[in-house]
Amino acid sequence: MRYNTARIIYWSSVGLLSLWFGASGVSELTKNPLVWDITVKLGYPPHFIYILGVAKVLGVAVLLVPNRLLRLKEWVFAGILFDITFAFLSKIVVLGAAATIDTLIAFTIFSTAYTLFRRLYPATYTRAAEVEITTAPAGSKVMQTAAGH
C-alpha cells in the first residue's frame, strides 16, 4: 500500500472512530437515554459512565491531533480496545449475541486505524543497553555511561 493511500485510509478510519466515540462520550456526559439506559442495563454504575464519557472525549481530542502525541495515542488506542472488548463481553452476557453487532463494527474500524497508525508511525523499540547511573555532587548533572563503553 502506498504511503498516501495509507494516510487517507488511516485518517478516514480515525475520523469514523472519533465520530463514534466522540458521540458516545458526549451522550454519556449529557445522560442521553439511548446510551445511558443500555450502559446502566449492562450493570455499570452512574459515576463510571461519566468517567468513561470524559475519557472518550479526551481520547478523541488526542486522536485528532496530527503527527503529535504519538505515545499518548498508543494509550488512547489501548483504551478504545478495552472499551470495545468490555462492551462486547457485557453485551453478549447481558443482552445476547445480537446486541454485539455495534462492537464488531467498532472493532473493525479500530483495527484498521490502529494497524495503519503502526504502519505510518512505526514504534522504534531498541534494546536497552545496560546503563550505569551515578550521581555527581549536588548541583552537577547526572552522568550516564553505557556499561563497557
32-72: per-residue pLDDT in tens? 999 999 999 999 999 999 999 999 999 999 999 999 999 99
Q: What is the mean pLDDT of the chain?
A: 89
pLDDT at 138: 60
> Alpha carbon 64 to chain centroid distance?
12
> CA–CA separation, 33 vs 92, rounded Å?
21
Q: H-type helices in the chain, by residue range?
A: 3-29, 33-41, 46-63, 70-94, 101-120
pLDDT band at 76 (very low <50, low <70, confident <90, very high): very high
83 in Cβ contact with 28 (< 8 Å) = no
Strands, E, within the chain: which ranges? Answer: 131-134, 143-146
Q: Shortest CA distance to 100 belongs to which of 38, 13, 23?
A: 38
pLDDT of residue 18: 98
CA 63 to chain CA centroid, Å, is 8
Tens of pLDDT, residue by residue over 98-108, are: 999 999 999 99
- Model pLDDT, residue 35: 93
> pLDDT grade, residue 123 (50/70/90)?
confident
What is the average per-residue pLDDT within 117-142?
66
Q: Is the pLDDT of residue 13 over 60?
A: yes
